[in-house]
A and B are shown apart, each in its own frame.
Chain A
Amino acid sequence: MNGFQAAIGLGKRELIRQVRQPSRIIASVLTPMLIWIFIVGGFSSAIGQDNTDANLTAYMIPGVASLTVMFASIFASISLIQDRHDGFLRAALISPAPRWSIVVGKVGAGALVAMVQGLVVLAALPFLGVQLSVVGVLGACAGLALISIALIGLGLGLAWIVDSSQGFHGIMNAVLMPMWLTSGAVFPINDAAGWLRVIALCNPLTWAHGAIRSSVGMVGIEGMPTGLDWLITFAFAGACVVLAIAVMGRASRRV
C-alpha cells in the first residue's frame, strides 16, 4: 500500500473542504487582525517605539501572523474530531492506508492553508516600513508552515484522545495561548524581565517567531547562535508530527 497516495488524497480532501467553507478562512484571518488592531491601537501610544528597527505596529505583525496560523491549525486538527463524529474517520481507518498517511494528509493540507493565511497578514509589513525580499518571504513561508505543522501535529495527537470539540478547544487554548503570549509575539523578549525571558526561551514558538523576524529583516532573538532558531523550529515541528503519528498509531476503541 502506497501511503503517499492516501496522504495526497486526504490532503486534497482537506483543501476542497477549505474552499467549500470560506467562513473558516475568513474567521481565521479576521480574528487575529482584529486583535492586532485593538492591541496596537490601545498600546502603541502608551508603549511607544520599541528598540528594534520597527515600531510596535510592525513588530506585532509576525506574531499576529502566527496567531492566524494557530487558529487555522486548531481548525485543521479539530477536523479529526468532526471526522470521527461524521463517520468519515472509520472509512479511513479500516482502509489499508497506514495511519501516518492520515496525519501527513491533514498536516500537509492544513499547513498549506495556514501558511497562506499567515502570509496574508505578513503582506501588511511593506505598508509599515519593512521591505520584504523574495528570500525573506520564502523564509517567512517556511517559518509559518513549520509553526502550523507543529501545532496541527500537536492538535491531532490531542484530538485522537479527546472526544469532544469543546474539550479540545479548552485544552488547546489553555496550552497555545500562554505559548503565544510568552513567545515574543506581543512584546520583544530581548528587553523582557529575566524570568520572562527564561520562559520565552523555553518556548519553541519564540524561536519560530525569531526565525520569521530574522527572515523578513527584523531583529530576531539576540545573543543566540545563527541558525539555532531554525533548528529548534524544525525539531519542534518534527517532534509534534512524530507525536501525532505515535498517538494515532495506538489502538483505540473510539472510532
Chain B
Amino acid sequence: MRCVEVDQLRVVYPNKDGDRVALDRVSLSIGHESVALLGPNGAGKSTLMGVLSGTVFPDEGTVHRGYENGLGIVFQTPALDELLTVRENLRLAGDLHGMSKDSINGSTQALIETLGIVDRIDQQVRRLSGGLKRCVDLARALLPSPGLLLLDEPTTGLDVEARASLWSAIDSIRSKSSMAVLFATHLTEEASKADRVILMSDGKVVVDGSPSELIDALGERVLRVQLRDEGKYDTLESWCKEIGCSSVHRGTDVLISHADAQHAPQVPGDPISVTLAAPTLEDVYLWHARAGIAESIGGPA
C-alpha cells in the first residue's frame, strides 16, 4: 500500500490578469520513503503540499491517502501560538488530534528529549529563537506519530547548525518508525539526502528519481563553462552535438553533460573558464531549469 497517491491534480488560482495554473496534471505516488520536492519559487511545491494536507482543494484530480495516524505538517512559518508555552502548544495539538492525556504527555516527553528542548518546555514560544520555534513546530507535527510528515521549506531562515539539528531529529524519528517524509526545498544539499527527488517547474513534475539516478543521467563528468559572449553559444552547442554531448545555458553560463577530461581543453567559443567536475544534484537542478520543461522531461542525452 502506497502512503499517498495523487492522480492528474490540477489547481488553478483565479487572477485578475488571467488564471494561474499552480498544478498542471500532476501524478505521483509516495511510499514509506523520504521524498524531496525541489523547484524554483512558483513551481507548485507549496500548492501540492496544500492539496496533500487538505487545505487546498484541487479543481481536478484525485488524492488517495493510505497512511495511518493522520498527517503531520510543518509549514514555511511555524503554526504555533506564540503566547502559549511549548507544553501548552503541544497539549493543544494533542487535543486537536483527539489524543488521550497520557498519550499527549508521553509523546511530548519523548519528542522534547529527541529535539533537545526539555529545558524550554514551559517557556512561551515568543521567547524562543527561530531555530527553537521550528523544533517546537516539528514536535507539534510529530506528536500524533503521523504516517506522513509534510515539511514545506522547513529550514528557511535557519542557520547551518539549526538546520543540521532539525534534520538530525527528523532522521532519528524516521529510524524508529515507518513514517514517510515529503519535504519541499530550494536547497539541493538537503534534497540530496532524500531517498527520492521530484523536480517541479511551472506546476509540473519535470523529473522524478533517486538522487543518484538523476545525477547519473548527466554522465560521469560535466563541464561548467563560462562564455565571454553569449553569442558564442551556438558554436558551443554545435560542437557538443559533434562530440555526442548535450548542453544547456542561461546567459553566458553553460552546462555540458556526458563530458570527459579530453573535452575540457577543446571547448570552443573563447570561454573565460572551463571546469570539469563530477555532476551534483545542483547540476541536475540547473540542467532542468535551463532546459525548460519541454526539453527536459526526457532528461539529458
Beta-carbon contacts under 8 Å, B38-78 to A: 50, 53-57, 70-71, 73, 75, 77-78
Residue A224 lies at the interface, judged by CB distance under 8 Å to chain B: no
Residues of A within 8 A of B78 (CB): 87
In the complex, are the beta carbons of B55 and A90 less than 8 A apart? Answer: yes
Beta-carbon contacts under 8 Å, B82-108 to A: 82-84, 88, 91-98
Residues of A within 8 A of B204 (CB): none
A31 to B143 Cα, complex, angstroms? 42
Number of interface residues of A (CB under 8 A): 28
Q: Tell me whether A16 and B88 are in contact in the complex, defined as CB-CB below 8 angstroms, given that A6-B98, A21-B83 are known contacts.
A: yes
CB distance from B174 to the nearest CB of A (A): 20
In the complex, are the beta carbons of A94 and B95 less than 8 A apart? Answer: no
Residues of A within 8 A of B81 (CB): 13, 17, 86, 88
CB closest chain-B residue, reference A9: B95
A-B pairs with beta carbons under 8 A, tally: 81
A86 to B80 Cα, complex, angstroms? 8
Residue B140 lies at the interface, judged by CB distance under 8 Å to chain A: yes
Q: Tell me whether A97 and B98 are in contact in the complex, defined as CB-CB below 8 angstroms, given that A9-B92, A87-B75 are known contacts.
A: yes
Interface of A is mostly: helix
Number of interface residues of B (CB under 8 A): 30
In the complex, are the beta carbons of B55 and A9 less than 8 A apart? Answer: no
A2 to B98 Cα, complex, angstroms? 6
CB closest chain-A residue, reference B54: A94
Residue A95 lies at the interface, judged by CB distance under 8 Å to chain B: yes
Residues of B within 8 A of A91 (CB): 73, 79-80, 93, 96, 140
In the complex, are the beta carbons of B79 and A87 less than 8 A apart? Answer: yes
Residues of B within 8 A of A251 (CB): 57
A2 to B82 Cα, complex, angstroms? 25
A23 to B286 Cα, complex, angstroms? 52
User: B13 touches which one: A87, A88, A92, A253 (CB < 8 A)?
Assistant: A253
User: B57 touches which one: A13, A88, A253 (CB < 8 A)?
Assistant: A253
Residue A161 lies at the interface, judged by CB distance under 8 Å to chain B: no
Q: Which residues of B contact A (CB under 8 A)?
A: 13, 50, 53-57, 70-71, 73, 75, 77-84, 88, 91-98, 124, 140
Residues of A within 8 A of B71 (CB): 94
A92 to B89 Cα, complex, angstroms? 12
Residues of A within 8 A of B13 (CB): 253
Chain B CB within 10 Å, residue with most, of A6, A90, A95, A255: A95
A8 to B96 Cα, complex, angstroms? 10
A96 to B94 Cα, complex, angstroms? 11
A255 to B54 Cα, complex, angstroms? 11
Residues of B within 8 A of A10 (CB): 92, 95-96
Residues of B within 8 A of A2 (CB): 98
In the complex, are the beta carbons of A94 and B98 less than 8 A apart? Answer: no
In the complex, are the beta carbons of A5 and B95 less than 8 A apart? Answer: yes
CB closest chain-A residue, reference B73: A94
CB closest chain-A residue, reference B150: A94
Residues of A within 8 A of B82 (CB): 86
In the complex, are the beta carbons of A94 and B55 less than 8 A apart? Answer: yes
A12 to B94 Cα, complex, angstroms? 13
A16 to B71 Cα, complex, angstroms? 27
In the complex, are the beta carbons of B57 and A16 less than 8 A apart? Answer: no
Q: Tell me whether A88 and B80 are in contact in the complex, defined as CB-CB below 8 angstroms, given that A94-B53, A253-B13 are known contacts.
A: yes
In the complex, are the beta carbons of B98 and A87 less than 8 A apart? Answer: no
A60 to B199 Cα, complex, angstroms? 66
